[in-house]
């Protein structure tokens, strides 16, 4: 089954961005590559606020022709525009639809509010984090409270240059059918 992977770079204190959306604190170590991750996915999902930041940073346009990209929004009309598909379904209904079609894994790329919606609905199957060695002290959290407790299993823990580490976790749904 196509897995939903929450994948992001964060600060040591758990922020995906500065209060203004800036991600200048993140870096790509020379001994690290996102290529293996990108080979496992064909779809990206983000929240509307994350799109707004991406648009601001990208000079008004955002599209990635290599990935089917969906944007969750309550305010924007659903449908295909500018290489993106706007969605206003519930995460559960949307993922159910997506899984009916064959494909690779689904990258939940942020932000925190959408991650929380997905965690509330227990739709996150894997977490893939890159943690950089800085405390920002303030910012946009990856895991904004509240959502129900979710157990995971550590799949991989790797160290890269300049002190970035990557952690990969898999959701463990013990006793789900009891």
Residue 161 DSSP class: G
Per-residue contact string for residues 146-165; x = within reach of a copy of itself by CB under 8 A: xxxxxxxxx--x-x---xxx
Q: Of 77, 165, 70, 61, nearest to 114 (Cα)?
A: 70
Quick one: tokens of 118?
Answer: 């997905």
Neighbours of 19 (CB within 10 A): 10
Return the range that interacts with a copy of itself (CB under 8 A); candidates 6-14, 37-45, 57-65, 70-78. Answer: 6-14
Give 69 or 111: the residue with its C-beta nearer to a copy of itself. 111
Residue 164 contacts residue 46 (beta carbons within 8 Å): no
Residue 29 DSSP class: -
Return the range that interacts with a copy of itself (CB under 8 A); candidates 38-46, 66-74, 97-105, 133-141. Answer: 133-141
- Find the shortest distance in angstroms from Cβ 95 to a copy of itself: 18
Is 118 a residue that touches a copy of itself (CB under 8 A)? no
127 three-state secondary structure = strand
Residue 84's alpha-carbon distances to 44, 62, 70, 109, in angstroms, are: 10, 8, 6, 14
Q: Of 21, 20, 25, nearest to 10 (Cα)?
A: 25
Is 22 a residue that touches a copy of itself (CB under 8 A)? no
Per-residue contact string for residues 26-65; x = within reach of a copy of itself by CB under 8 A: ----------------------------------------
Give 48 or 168: the residue with its C-beta nearer to a copy of itself. 168
Tell me which of 61, 145, 176, 178 binds a copy of itself, using CB under 8 A.
145
In sequence order, the 6+-apart residues with CB closer than 8 A to the CB of 78 are 85, 86, 87, 88, 89
Return the range that interacts with a copy of itself (CB under 8 A); candidates 7-15, 55-63, 64-72, 98-106. Answer: 7-15
Is 119 a residue that touches a copy of itself (CB under 8 A)? yes
């Amino acid at each position: 089954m196509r897995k939903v992977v929450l994948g992001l770079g964060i600060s040591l204190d758990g922020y995906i961005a500065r209060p203004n959306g800036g991600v200048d604190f993140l870096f790509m170590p020379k001994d690290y590559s996102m290529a293996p991750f990108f080979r496992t996915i064909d779809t990206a999902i983000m929240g509307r606020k994350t799109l707004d930041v991406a648009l601001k940073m990208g000079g008004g346009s955002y599209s990635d022709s290599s990935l089917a990209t969906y944007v969750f929004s309550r305010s924007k009309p659903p449908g295909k525009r500018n290489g993106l598909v706007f969605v206003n379904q519930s995460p559960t209904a949307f993922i159910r639809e997506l899984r009916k079609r064959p494909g690779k894994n689904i990258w939940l790329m942020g932000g925190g509010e959408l991650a929380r919606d997905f965690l509330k609905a227990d739709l996150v199957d894997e977490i893939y984090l890159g943690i950089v060695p800085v405390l920002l002290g303030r910012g946009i959290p990856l895991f904004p409270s509240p959502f129900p407790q979710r157990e995971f299993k550590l799949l991989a823990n790797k160290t890269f240059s300049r002190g970035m580490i990557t952690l990969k976790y898999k959701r463990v749904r013990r006793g789900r059918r009891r």
